[in-house]
Amino acid sequence: MNSEKLDMLNNINRLSLTQILKEIRVKFSKLLRKEIDLAKTELKADIKSEISMVGGMGIAAVLIFLSISMLLVTLILALSEVLPAWTAGLIVSAVLLLAAAIVALISWKKRV
């Protein structure tokens, strides 16, 4: 054994049980505080990362919404080649309304 370990063992041998328990309690309290601080730091980093992800997903959702809108406009324009434009718009809108009603009805039946 090196001299540092021997000194530590000699110090422990000179301490009473009460002193040893007090030392254990103090060291445990310090360790617990450090673990809590570490957990807080890790949680803050995780939260920042999640907030960044949510922001990106929000932007993606807006872009998806705009893309779908443009696809629907394109569909209406394509149908307006063979139908009057107002009829093409009405047909596409009616199909979307029907799809929304079906999804709403299915969702309503799943409620508790």
SS3 59: helix
Model confidence pLDDT, tens digit, residues 12-62 = 677 788 888 888 899 999 999 999 999 999 999 889 889 999 999 999 999
**Span 96-112, average pLDDT:** 93
CA–CA separation, 6 vs 15, rounded Å? 14
Determine contact, residues 79/92, Cβ cutoff 8 Å. Answer: yes
Every domain of the chain and the residues it spans: 3-58
